[in-house]
Amino acid sequence: MILRTHYSGDITPEMDGKEVTLAGWAHETRDLGGIAFLVLRDRKGLAQVTLVKKLVGKELFKSVRSISRESVVQVRGNVKAEPKAPRGFEIMPTEIRVLGSAEVPLPLDPTEKVECELDTRLDSRFMDVRRPSVLAAFEIESAVLRSIRDYFYSQGVTEVFTPKIVAAATEGGTDLFPISYFEKEAFLNQSPQLYKQMLMGAGMDRVFEIGPIFRAEEHDTRRHLNEAISIDLEVSFADDKDAMELLEGAVVAAYRYVTENCLRQLEAIGLNLSVPKVPFRRITYTEALELASERDVKMQWGDDLDTETERFLGETIGEHYFLTDWPSSIKPYYTLPYEDRPEVCRGFDLMHPRMELASGAQRVHDHGMLVSRIKEKGLDPAGFEFYLNAFRYGMPPHAGWGLGLSRLVMTMLNLENIRDAVIFPRDRRRLVP
Ligand code: ATP
Ligand code: MG
């Protein structure tokens, strides 16, 4: 059964006379007496189907009146060049079939003519994604993933999968979702950190993973969710500088691919996207504090960046930048301190003016140092035995990072809320749909 020969967006006035079969949703119907219009929408656009009563006969003409908005329809007909119609063509139908009828009223209006609350949209996400600008964001997300995978392959990186059901926390702490695992307690993993590092000990050299991370923090912000997709990279025989180059490379690859291949989607969102220039500016944590000191900063050297300082830096710098050389005290135990000044470490964050996009570092690869770092953070090395073992029998120097997919997409598309970049978001209140 052939349901569709073309998408609406593929039809041009030059196809005048050609028979096509379209399938999609009844975006709009209008009955003007002797003439009626059915606007069909599919994921590539709209097509106006024009029914002239005298031409199509009473039966077909009448049938259009009974099609409720958003029903799924299949239309067979001929393309007719028509300068007055949207995009210069209309479809003169010979057959219209309803494949799935829509109930009345609709849970929300998918035409984008009406503004709608985020919660209402998320409750009926299947209907919300029918809105072209919403769909466009998710199509772009797919393009971003494709381009980053391609970039990784071009850099000789192997894709891996590590377990999401784990026995121990990555960084200690309490921000884990416990689950019952037969007679044991287990957790949903907050990060593939330990596993990707173990794969460096396994000799895989360069790995990446794109998968979910789970954080049980009770956030209520526009950039945190309890389940997120992380793009993780780990590379051996590499330092923090190498990792930063791979990170800006991945980000720019994504921007470039989207600007070249997602014109229709960018138009639906109404965005004129430009590719950020590399290398991104690198500023140290200490320089950032100095920069911010012309303002009234409350934070001290050693504190995590507060939101005001972060916002000030974003506004001042105005483009992507790296924050490097963080105080060792606020970065995780696996971050390598500088040899000559151990209070500073080789950790970095990739920042968009609006928020943090990624965190990374050159890692501690010496077993003894790792054990002491774990203890310094008040954690028990016994709980990390499976991880520490990989450092005892020949671990190469290595570095890596984790980049939040939704934050990358949200900042790229200038979306207000991370929930606009996740089809079915999970937050403190939302577990359905
Ligand atoms: P933040 O300080 O913004 O809460 P983080 O430093 O706790 O983030 P990391 O552990 O560094 O996050 O995770 C690496 C990346 O994963 C982050 O830079 C971000 O892009 C993404 N990420 C982390 N936590 C979340 C979350 N709760 N929701 C969405 N994305 C997240
Ligand atoms: Mg971070």
Three-state SS for 116-165 is: CCHHHHHHCHHHHCCCHHHHHHHHHHHHHHHHHHHHHHHCCCEECCCCCE
Amino acid residing at 180: S
pLDDT of the residue at 186? 94
> How many Å lie between the centroid of ligand 2 and the Cα of residue 142?
24
Atom 29 in ligand 1: residue holding the nearest Cα: 224
pLDDT digit of tens for each residue in the chain (433 aa)? Answer: 679 999 999 999 999 999 999 999 999 999 998 999 999 999 999 999 999 999 999 999 999 989 999 999 999 999 999 999 999 999 999 999 999 999 999 999 998 888 899 999 999 999 999 999 999 999 999 999 999 999 999 999 999 999 999 997 777 766 899 999 999 999 999 999 999 999 999 999 999 999 999 999 998 899 999 999 999 999 999 999 999 999 999 999 999 999 999 999 999 999 999 999 999 999 999 999 999 888 777 789 999 999 999 999 999 999 999 999 999 999 999 999 999 999 999 999 999 999 999 999 999 999 999 999 999 999 999 999 999 999 999 999 999 999 999 999 999 999 999 999 999 999 999 999 9
User: Distance between CA atoms of 228 and 225, rounded to whole angstroms?
Assistant: 6
User: Distance between CA atoms of 174 and 329, rounded to whole angstroms?
Assistant: 18
DSSP 25: E
- Is 236 one of the catalytic residues? no
Annotated catalytic residue: which of 219, 356, 367, 430?
356
User: Distance between CA atoms of 311 and 315, rounded to whole angstroms?
Assistant: 6
Nearest CA to 258 among 84, 139, 133, 120? 139
User: Distance between CA atoms of 215 and 203, rounded to whole angstroms?
Assistant: 29
Annotated catalytic residue: which of 363, 373, 407, 419?
407
- Is 429 one of the catalytic residues? no
Q: In Å, how far from its chain's centre is CA 371?
A: 35
For the chain, give every domain's residue range: 8-100, 128-421
Is the bond leading into 337 cis (omega within 30 degrees of zero)?
A: no
Largest CA distance in the chain: 88
Using most ligand atoms within 8 A of CB, pick from 148, 189, 217, 230 the residue to mutate for ligand 1: 230
Atom 18 in ligand 1: residue holding the nearest Cα: 358
Give yes or no for residue 251 CB within 6 A of ligand 1. no
- Is 223 one of the catalytic residues? yes
Position in ligand 1 atom list of the atom nearest CA 356 = 18
Helix (H), strand (E) at residue 209: strand 206-214
Domain 8-100 in CATH: superfamily?
Nucleic acid-binding proteins (2.40.50.140)
Annotated catalytic residue: which of 28, 82, 139, 217?
217
Atom 4 in ligand 1: residue holding the nearest Cα: 224
- Domains 8-100 and 128-421 equal at CATH topology level: no
> How many Å lie between the centroid of ligand 2 and the Cα of residue 45?
39
Cβ–Cβ < 8 Å for 228, 404: yes
User: Distance between CA atoms of 385 and 379, rounded to whole angstroms?
Assistant: 12
Domain 128-421 in CATH: superfamily?
Bira Bifunctional Protein; Domain 2 (3.30.930.10)
Give pLDDT tens digits for 29-62.
Answer: 999 989 999 999 999 999 999 999 999 999 999 9
Q: Is 429 helix (H, G, I), strand (E, B) or coil?
A: coil
User: Distance between CA atoms of 303 and 179, rounded to whole angstroms?
Assistant: 33
Give yes or no for residue 359 CB within 6 A of ligand 1. yes
Exposure b/e, 9-26, CB count within 10 A at least 16 = b: eebeeebeeeebbbbbbb
- CA 234-158-388 angle, 5° bins: 40
Number of the ligand closest to the Cα of 356? 1
CB atoms within 10 A of CB 295: 11
* Whether the predicted model's global pTM rises above the 0.85 cut: yes
DSSP 345: B
> How many Å lie between the centroid of ligand 1 and the Cα of residue 128?
26
Annotated catalytic residue: which of 320, 359, 365, 419?
359
Give pLDDT tens digits for 403-426.
Answer: 999 999 999 999 999 999 999 999
Cβ–Cβ < 8 Å for 379, 388: no
Give yes or no for residue 357 CB within 6 A of ligand 1. yes
